[in-house]
Structure 1
Amino acid sequence: MGSMSIWHWLIVLVIVMLVFGTKKLKNIGGDLGAAVKSFKEGVREATDETPANGSSTAQGTPPSVTNGASGTAANDANTIDVEARTKG
């Protein structure tokens, strides 16, 4: 008699359904499901915001802007000039 058998759990389930009713249990289940869903979304957003490789932006230093073709570092003014030359 040390462990609960399946019949004990079924009796407990029937008593809980009689006390709370199926409608209230359904609402509790829906609320619990919504809470778990929002928790998972929060965890997913938190992991998306943190960089995985520890890039320089995580340390507070801005990343360098590179010119795509040559791979050399360029400032914002040079990047704008390159874009203006290619468009016009």
Structure 2
Amino acid sequence: MKSTEIFDDFDIRILLMIQSLYLEFGFIGSILILIFVFFCFVFWIAGISGLADQKHSKNPNLKIVLSIFIPPFPIVWLVYDMYRQNRRLKGKDL
């Protein structure tokens, strides 16, 4: 088996997944789903970088490991951190 045959099969599977998404949800639905997935990925990466930037927190390595293996964790942390910063800017400390 050549190495290019593996990639050919992979390309076919991706095309079939995109086609089934399009057939199931239509053009607008598939675009909205893909935009939602893209934003989740961006927020996941932003949450991981925010958690990695905390130098004085308890168990920073555990938080990074949790954020990699449990993808909703950094997104929830990011929303909580934005809420906490908003409260701090308004003068209402938590």
Q: Same fold (TM over 0.5)?
A: no
TM-score, length of structure 2 as denominator length: 0.39
Name the structure with the higher helix share: 2
Name the structure with the higher strand share: 1
TM-score, length of structure 1 as denominator length: 0.41
Larger radius of gyration, structure 1 or 2? 1
Question: Which one scores higher on RCO, CA 8 angstroms, separation ≥ 6?
Answer: 2
